[in-house]
Amino acid sequence: MCGRFSLALEPTEIEEHFGARFTEPMQRRYNAAPSQRLPVILNADPRSIVLAPWGIKPPWLVKRDGLINVRAETLREKRTFRENLVDRRCLVPADGFYEWQARPNGKKTPYRIVRRAGGLFAFAGIWEAERHAGATGPRFAIITTRANDLMRPIHIRMPVILATDQERIWLSANTPVSELLAMLEPAPSTDLRAYEVSSKVNRASIATPSVMQPA
């Protein structure tokens, strides 16, 4: 799964990478958590970077904060989410994500995973329009897939990280569903590196650069 990530780069760097502009001021996120309003680029408006709550809320979902991850396998199999894949896709900018490795003693060790070369990337995501309490605007979820060789000792799932040349293809209305589904594969292990970080990252209220530093 993917329950935390970071986006601590300059807004201008993010805008340049995606060829899009923020519609409102961005706050750097060192420990982005569910329900927070975070930057996304919607297929409905690929030239804008908007802030949207992390967690979609299908009508049948009781969970208050929403569904933060959707399995790639579910997008293939379930009609409800397949419609999201066809009509409502998004990019979720990030420069790293966190995952917790279970230990034999019952404790969990947090790791940060980044591109080996560093810098910005995008998770593949889906979005839905807000349906609750008279609110408006989009909400988003990150698509996950099976773990690659790097991630497998840490967790059995990982977010779908798109290659740079796939980002615009993911947003394009002309991309066939078969090609979209083919993108939902683990990123190559050689493209990523993982390192242990402080358990401070366990608390979403601790949102300082220190949570990104090696333990």
On whether the CB atoms of residues 214 and 195 are closer than 8 A, the answer is yes
Q: How far apart are the first and last CA of the chain?
A: 22
Q: Which residues are catalytic?
A: 2, 99
How far apart (Å, rounded) are the C-alpha atoms in residues 186 and 175?
Answer: 20
Q: 3-class DSSP state for residue 197?
A: strand
Contacts of 18 (CB under 8 A, 6+ apart): 41, 49, 91, 93, 122, 167
CB burial string 47-65: b at 16+ within 10 A, e below: eebbbbbbbbbeeeeeeee
